[in-house]
Amino acid sequence: MKTIKVLGTGCANCKTTLRLIEEAAQAAGVEVTLEKVEELSEIMKYGVMSTPGVVLDGQVVHAGGIPSKGAIDGWLADNR
């Protein structure tokens, strides 16, 4: 199971990113633990200066803007 955190203070792009990851995981049949991190001090611990940020299994894989469907599918496909 993959652990994915979406970092952001609640903007529309952050909410969209969360929804897209959720939909992609469901479509791919990949089990994920999805968490929304809105606390600025927690976001800063990852060194993300531009949100939304995406953390996959403890590693920052994206920062700033909504990730593409291809990027999300790639994250979910790695080491199923």
Q: Which residues are catalytic?
A: 11, 14
Max Cα–Cα distance, the chain, nearest Å: 33
Query: Where is 54: in which H helix or E strand?
Result: strand 53-56
CA atoms within a 13 Å half-sphere pointing along the CA-CB vector of 70: 0
**What does the DSSP 8-state code read for residue 36?**
E
